[in-house]
Amino acid sequence: MDNILEKRLLSWYELDIVGTDLIIRIHDMVIPHVKDILLACTGQLLHTETELSLPAFLPFGTDAQWGFGGCVECKPGKPEKKRWVTFYAPLPVVSKTGALEDTDWSGAYALSATLNILFYALNACAGIVRAGTPQHCCVSLSTRKAMYGCSLSCALSSGVGIWVSREPDDAAPYQKNRKQVRPEVNDAMARVYQHMMGPPKYPELPCRAKAYFVGPKWIHLDCPGDACGLDPETYASPKLNVGYRLVPHNVDTPMQQLTLLAGIAAVMALVRNGR
């Protein structure tokens, strides 16, 4: 996955967020490879199922629901994406009221574990696609019932940094060197967080699930928790022709992980569309 930090690889998977559905599009050349990798991971999948008390893993395919408990489904995609297979992963409701005593984490862990193994397979397929647009991110997840157990990281291409650099500066006097954040990003993060965790206790306050950009190219994503979020691993190279990696801080639950992943997906959609 680190190849995209300095090399231009052609896109073999994409992320998007539509409503409260996470969208994963996979190039049709990659589908057989993903199927073979997941089949080879049968032992690991059985171990994960037992360790996390998950429903059975339904086999990967493009004609039925698959994943732990069938939490991912293939559906028709955009007409212009003829060589892409589109998978929908509805984000689960963890709490309908927002109260900690009213939580059901089973669906969240099932989806996190499913995406974990999917991204593992996808990241092994770099270089298969030989024509098309650039790959802009590679995601890796962790899924454990422990502190920091649902961490995630994301390698970003240089194209993402170039896109951030072209965003307008934030005019607020206290936002030194900040870039404006498109409403699509913060709206997506707040929407999925509140979908999973219920209505906010204080709706008059801004949601803490949000992004902020710092010049020339840095992305930060925040989520409610103990300083939970994703930040650049290092600021050593501000050059725009070099990508960088987002690394986690205090990402303990799948709800936090999936909220941050929704933020990544929203940014990727904007980068791909050149908006």
Per-residue pLDDT of the chain (275 residues; tens, 9 = 90+): 547 988 889 999 999 999 999 999 999 999 999 999 999 999 999 999 999 999 999 999 998 899 999 999 998 777 667 899 999 999 999 988 777 778 899 999 999 999 999 999 999 999 999 889 999 999 999 999 999 999 999 999 999 999 999 998 887 666 678 888 999 999 999 999 999 998 877 776 778 899 999 999 999 999 998 999 999 999 988 999 999 999 999 999 999 999 999 999 999 999 998 86
Residue 183: what residue type?
Answer: P
pLDDT of residue 175: 66
**What token pair was written down for 268?**
């990727």
- By CB atoms closer than 10 A (0-12, 13-18, 19+), residue 155 is buried
Which uninterrupted H or E stretch holds 163?
Answer: helix 158-165
Domain ranges for the chain, please list them: 2-273
Cβ neighbours around 199 below 10 Å, total: 11
Yes or no: say if 240 and 162 are a contact pair by the CB < 8 Å rule.
Answer: yes
Residue 64, phi then psi, degrees to nearest 5: -160, 170
Q: Return d(Cα 211, Cα 270) in angstroms, integer.
A: 14
Question: Would you state the pLDDT for residue 92?
Answer: 97
Q: What is the pLDDT of residue 178?
A: 86
Residue 173 has a pLDDT of 62
Question: Please, is 40 exposed, middle or buried when counting C-beta atoms within 10 Å of its C-beta (0-12, 13-18, 19+)?
Answer: exposed
Residue entry with tokens 């089949």: 39
Rounded CA separation 103/209 (Å): 19
What per-residue confidence (pLDDT) applies to 275?
Answer: 65
What predicted TM-score, i.e. pTM, was given to this entire model?
Answer: 0.95
Residue 21 CA to residue 18 CA, distance in Å, equals 5
